[in-house]
Structure 1
Amino acid sequence: MPTPDRTSLDAIVMAARDLLEQDGLPGLTMQAVAERVGVRAPSLYKRVRNRDDLIRLVAEATLVELAAELDAANGARKLLGSFRAFGLGRPAAFRLIMTPGDTPSAAAVSEALAETVSAGILRTARELAGEQDALFAARTLTAWAAGFVSMELNGGFNLGGDPEDAWEYGLERIVAAISAKQT
């Protein structure tokens, strides 16, 4: 008689996401996840092939969560504010999905999922810049916001002043620049 399943894939991924935030990527081990969900490490392999697969699943779950938040935001200010709040609230997950080249297993996220995540940003970019320039605008918005949040997380604002004021300044100007009609 087979042994009953003692955990689900969702529980494993949620435990891994919590560990990622608590201990960073080095602390995200199969043993640590197994302990968190209350099983022995070999039991995880019924649901997850290996650590790389686990990291990919965490990246995918993170992208799905971020996509839902961005899809719910109306307008550039709210969308970028949601993006920033997500990054500041979940810094390790943010780093995982924003620098996938550092973690090859995170870079293996499906193209279809990447398109889903981009939908909210592309919608907002279309509203600002029009259909023809939407992709360029989406990339510009994403690059600016991701760079800003990354600097904020890494303590990169050392020249004084309030990062909140800098965010507002940049947000206002980047939205205005992308919205400007070309003549």
Structure 2
Amino acid sequence: MNTPHVVVVMGVAGTGKTTIGPLLAAELGVPYAEGDDFHPEANIAKMSAGTPLTDEDRWPWLDAIGTWAHGRVGRGGVVSSSALKRAYRDRLRSAAPGLVFVHLTGERSLIEERMAGRQGHFMPTALLDSQFATLQPLGPDETGVSVDVAGGPEEIVARAVAALHSLHALDAEPRSQLASQ
């Protein structure tokens, strides 16, 4: 990517947003912001108790991420956010036009296994079903790429960078591209 974009690393819990986001930001030479840090305490308490968030719970969180992303427009950045629904991505784009999404995808069994192995994270494996039920993949009119999470972090980041370069080379118009080699 020749111009600095703000990239949102998205996907269901356990896909590696917190691992891949900082590595991707380092590779792109831009700052990283952890989406979970934008959650109000009430959201964290709710998820820790195994209760899925409602849209009403998510709006202030998305607005806080959108504010951060808006401040990075033209300078670049990477932020993680599940961004599971189109409406959530639309809200982020309304705050920071030109966002590019990297949708981390993979086999449910792999994601569940990785989630189960996490230490000290507030999101229980029990919420994975609700995450998949809520997920609306990127539409053809959304600027972004899908990247398979099989393999190690460096391999996933390399696929993401290649997909972003390929996406940027195509045109500046919104487009979704599958890059899950």
Q: Which TM-score applies when normalising by structure 2?
A: 0.39
Which of 1 and 2 has higher RCO (CA within 8 Å, sep 6+)?
2
More strand by share: 2
Larger of the two Rg values belongs to structure: 1
